[in-house]
Amino acid sequence: MIAATRNSGIAPLGDMPWGTHACLFYETKQDAFDTLIPYFQAGLQSRECCVWAVTDPIGEEEARAELMRSIPNAGPNLTDGAIEILPGEEWYMDGVAQGMEAIVRGWHEKLARAIAAGYEGLRISGNAFWLQTGQWAAFAEYEQMLDRSLTGQPMIVLCTYPLDQSRAAEVLDVARAHEFTLARRHGQWERIETPELKQAKREIQRLKAELEERVIERTAELAAANARLEAEYSEREQVEAVLEEAKVALYRRVRLTTVGVLAASIAHEINQPLAGIVTNSEASLRWLTNEEPDLDQVRAGLGRIARDANRAADVIKRIRALVAGRIEHAKFDINEALGETAALMKATLQAHQVEVQLVLGAGLPPVVGDKVQLQQAIINLVTNAAESMVNAAGPREIIIGTSLAEGGGPMVTIEDRGRGLSPEASDHMFEPFFTTKEKGMGLGLSIARTVVEAHGGSVSASPSPLGGTVFRFTIPGASP
Ligand SMILES: Nc1ncnc2c1ncn2[C@@H]1O[C@H](COP(=O)(O)OP(=O)(O)O)[C@@H](O)[C@H]1O
Ligand SMILES: [Mg+2]
């Protein structure tokens, strides 16, 4: 691998990249040798091909002697072309005759040959003092052309000028044409910087300062953001604590509400059989006080009273089981359960002049669960259906149907010819305590839904083609 920077061999220059174009003013011949000998020696050590274009006041023989004296291996290097001493005047004058770019081209041809011979690049020293005074425009043109041609090339150029032969204006012109300008005067180094270089350095300095400022700014911003995050975090912890407290309070409220709902639902469910008992006992009394007491009717009425009383007892038993967390798990036939429910409600419904029609599907799978609970749900739906028709002018009819739902379980529908659902009821009717009735408790539907869902099913309502509402629920079927 070829190194990216080259050792210049000149202390104030140090390492320099390929393409460097530097310039040296020297006071005495010794000053020139003090610079050029280490310059070439470093080039030879870095496997570069070196070319020394020698011009007045330094002669070719003098240069050769100086090399031989100072560099141990100079002899063989001179013979095999690792270092070449070029009669500068001839070299440049040939170029001038053919135009400025011919000289630049000449250097590049030497570079190509050096690369072909296995050198890493070309290291040159020369000067343009062969130009006559008054030809400075041509000189500047040459130096600029050379400067441009060096970009990206493995070539280093050091132009050397005797100070005693240069006028101040010329020194400035020469300096301006180079990236680096050095002066060696009586053994001392001086470094001359062109305005462009100074400007560039100042610009770099400014950018660096700006960058540092930005880094400081960003660091401060980051610290602020970090502090904000920490504050947010602790705020969030506080909010979470408050939320936790609210949650506990809410649980307490929910428990209280549940107890309230339970108390109300006990009353609700006991009211049903009680109403049946009252209706039946009134009827029985009427039948007894008739001129010809209808004892068969009375007997049937008393039977219904006993049944309703048993049912109330059953409900209480179930509620106690429910409170204790016990739920029956028995397999039963849904059609049978519906038949029983309809029979149970017959008297009450008749009192409201409501007809019940059962349209039961065949081949339904049994269901597993709590039959009394499910019957309670059905009673609630049927009661609502009956109540929806209280002021109906037309026929008061409820159709209770069963069929096979898509999921394979039974579907139960309870359809009425009532006044239909108000929009508000559609949205809220399943919520506990929602009612549109003067004496309603608003628990029937919420209980029905709880029961159906506890059996793994779901309940919904929609307008019925009969003009009223149809409630339907499905529950999963069990294997027979
Ligand atoms: N079949 C129905 N037809 C019309 N509206 C109904 C029907 N069933 C329920 N609703 C509406 O839903 C509300 C809630 O019913 P429910 O929970 O049983 O409580 P409640 O019967 O005590 O009002 C009723 O007040 C009524 O507005
Ligand atoms: Mg109700």
Mean pLDDT per 10-residue interval, the chain, length 480 residues: 76 86 88 94 95 90 94 89 90 78 91 96 83 65 85 90 74 74 84 66 79 88 91 89 73 55 71 90 92 91 93 80 67 94 81 92 94 87 94 91 94 96 94 87 87 92 94 92
Ligand minimally distant from the alpha carbon of residue 417: 1
Q: Which ligand is nearest to the CA of 432?
A: 1
| DSSP-assigned states of every residue in 386-444 | HHTTTT-SS--EEEEEEEE-TTSSEEEEEEE-S----HHHHHHTTSTT---STT--S-H
Instruction: Compute the distance between CA of residue 16 and CA of residue 5 in angstroms, rounded to an integer.
Output: 5
Report how far ligand 1's centroid is from the alpha carbon of 362 (Å).
30
Which of 376, 379, 383, 384 to probe ligand 1 with, by most ligand atoms within 8 A of CB? 384
Taking the CA of residue 446 as reference, the ligand 1 atom at the shortest distance is 17
Pocket test for ligand 1, best of 382, 389, 435, 449 (most atoms within 8 A of CB): 435
Question: What is the value of pTM for the model shown?
Answer: 0.45
Question: Which of 416, 422, 439, 445 is the best mutation target for the ligand 1 pocket, counting ligand atoms within 8 Å of the beta carbon and taking the most?
Answer: 445
Question: Which ligand is closest to the CA of 430, given by its number?
Answer: 1
Report the distance separating Cα 307 and Cα 312, nearest Å. 9
Closest ligand 1 atom to the C-alpha of 447? Answer: 17
Please check whether residue 184 is in contact with residue 24, taking contact to mean a CB–CB distance below 8 angstroms.
yes
**Ligand 1 geometric centre to CA of 417 (Å):** 14
CA of 382 to the centre of ligand 1 (A): 10
CA of 354 to the centre of ligand 1 (A): 17
Distance, in Å, from the CA atom of 349 to the CA atom of 156, rounded to the nearest integer, reads 115
**What is the b/e burial string over 134-169, where b = at least 16 CB atoms within 10 angstroms of the residue's CB?**
eeeeebeebbeebbebbeebbbbbbbbbbeeeeeee
- Say how many C-beta atoms besides its own lie within 10 A of residue 40's C-beta: 26
Q: Amino acid letter at 273?
A: P
* CA of 447 relative to ligand 2 center, distance in Å: 10
- Residue 1 pLDDT: 43
Residue of the CA atom closest to atom 7 of ligand 1:
384
Which residues form ligand 1's pocket by a CB distance below 6 Å? 380, 384-385, 388, 416, 418, 420-421, 425, 429, 434-437, 440-446, 469
Interaxial angle between packed helices 334-351 and 195-289, expressed in degrees from 0 to 180 and rounded to the nearest 10: 60
Cα 359 to middle of ligand 1, angstroms: 23
| Long-range interactions of 234-243: CB distance < 8 A, separation 24+ | none
Among all ligands shown, which has an atom nearest to the Cα of 468?
1
How far is 53 from 124, CA to CA, in rounded Å? Answer: 8
Q: Give, as residue ranges, everything with CB less than 5 Å from ion ligand 2.
A: 384, 444
